[in-house]
Structure 1
């Protein structure tokens, strides 16, 4: 995969993570922001029902510290959770007043890699294999469940159910090998449905409060400074001389980072969040020399892709939501002009939001040079949405 990551539209684009956890129901009480893995959250004081807003990422919440014990999956969106670990007392009585205790958090889904899982007829990844890359509500054959003796999760975070239509509690499977039933906590090999947790569109929470903390070294080390406006050339900034950008923390606003000065070269979408090094912003190299704040209104996204230059006659497609593969809309892989009617969009060279990124704001783009591309290949697009 590493070689593929470096090659053109094989580059996997990552996103930062963020959860806002409220200690009480109704998104009330103490508010805590979670940007990455938390090995031990047992000291957090919570009521018996908590509220969680997952801004970015697919996460697993564990009963015990250091990612052990029972699991609860958190996908992007809002959810209220009653304490899942102590829902029932010794004699089956509901224990509604027990305070919630969280052991740990792990961010599992970090990028737009296509989810993939393989089920094997025998233990240790042997025997007949079935591979899935999408949600499947009923995989029974003539009413009979699939029997999986071992599983490999190649990518993604999967919920695997012993009943069809995602019924009953799922087994939560992270990337890795599960050589036997015990490895994923099952007593019965029956599998009838499964569902991967995917990332949604990029989002912005604070478009009107732009701020980026720039660190000279990876891992938020070394000298740092804060910017809240466009930077034409980070290497020649008055009052500061940072030879390189080692890491970034975008506190507010949605930004575009560029490989070269003057907003040129490879483009990197920078959502609010933490970027520990150049790989975390999807860099082709360590170079990040200019920064531009997106100032357009993010509401009601709409754009039209045209196969011909200058909006001339020929195939076109109008979109108002994410499209992981332009061919799904009956449109090809060549786009030579774009009209962004409203909102802010990211166009990608590869399918499933992979490869080169081109950030598109409201306006007309008469040729691929207008959006900073050297060729006309666009095969997926998605809007940037504002969190309300």
Structure 2
């Protein structure tokens, strides 16, 4: 089993009822596995997962850590559509991210090693145009304070503009680490 494997079970009905799909590793399209794109509850048995509301890892992102999610509101979704998922690419437990106000790693910068519920408290404006993720961990960036609103996953690597993490705008107001459970 690869270091990026885990197990997630998706259910068509609320409270873990109806047709189910067990996934271990990347799943680009639920329909290819005979499962429609309606997901109303989820059990994440191991690893952290990134789920997308469209097939082929496209659309709105939702990160789910191990636990039970009896209805779609519990994973910060506005509806029950989901089309693909994969384990979050994590390597260990050392977290560090640099956030830049301008593209191509320029302008004011802040380094974080811990969650930050309100980036303006660290002296940054609400626009984050580039980022570098160091170390082992992955990070979630949110458009609203206190880890709310549309979310974006950043795994280890360099992101020279907000479009590289699939954001429609550079408006980011909070950041948190994705916790890995080995």
TM-score (norm 1): 0.44
Q: Which has the higher contact order (CA 8 A, sep 6+)?
A: 2
Match of 2:51 among 246, 254, 257: 257
Q: Secondary structure, in 3 states, of the residue corresponding to 1:345? A: strand
Query: In 2, Cα distance between the equivalents of 1:213 and 1:328?
Result: 38
Query: Retained in 1: the 8 A contact 2:101–2:127?
Result: yes
Q: 1:386 to 1:213 in 2, by over 3 A?
A: closer
Q: Secondary structure, in 3 states, of the residue corresponding to 2:179? A: strand
Return 5+ residue gaps in structure 1 as ranges.
1-206
Greater Cα shift, 302-311 or 292-301? 292-301
Q: In the alignment, which residue of structure 1 is the partner of 2:90?
A: 296
Q: In the alignment, which residue of structure 2 is the partner of 1:346?
A: 140
Match of 1:223 among 19, 28, 52: 19
Query: Retained in 2: the 8 A contact 1:262–1:290?
Result: yes
| Bigger CA radius of gyration | 1
Match of 1:269 among 58, 63, 68: 63
Match of 1:287 among 47, 57, 81: 81
Query: Retained in 2: the 8 A contact 1:211–1:250?
Result: yes
Confirm or deny that 1:322 pairs with 2:110: no
Query: In 1, Cα distance between the equivalents of 2:143 and 2:122?
Result: 16
Query: Retained in 1: the 8 A contact 2:108–2:124?
Result: yes
Greater Cα shift, 208-217 or 220-229? 208-217
TM-score (norm 2): 0.92
Q: 1:308 to 1:247 in 2, by over 3 A?
A: same
Alignment of structure 1 residues 62-81 onto 2, 5 Å: none
Query: Retained in 2: the 8 A contact 1:298–1:384?
Result: no
Query: In 2, Cα distance between the equivalents of 1:367 and 1:340?
Result: 13
Q: 1:293 to 1:208 in 2, by over 3 A?
A: closer
Query: Retained in 1: the 8 A contact 2:118–2:145?
Result: yes
Query: In 2, Cα distance between the equivalents of 1:298 and 1:375?
Result: 30
Query: In 1, Cα distance between the equivalents of 2:76 and 2:67?
Result: 14
Confirm or deny that 1:360 pairs with 2:154: yes
Query: Retained in 2: the 8 A contact 1:298–1:385?
Result: no
Q: In the alignment, which residue of structure 2 is the partner of 1:190?
A: none
Q: CA deviation at 1:386?
A: 3.6
Q: In the alignment, which residue of structure 2 is the partner of 1:212?
A: 8
Q: In the alignment, which residue of structure 2 is the partner of 1:129?
A: none
Query: Retained in 2: the 8 A contact 1:268–1:357?
Result: yes
Aligned length: 179
Q: CA deviation at 1:208?
A: 6.2
Greater Cα shift, 227-236 or 240-249? 240-249
Query: In 1, Cα distance between the equivalents of 2:112 and 2:35?
Result: 43
Query: In 2, Cα distance between the equivalents of 1:306 and 1:209?
Result: 32
Query: In 1, Cα distance between the equivalents of 2:85 and 2:96?
Result: 25
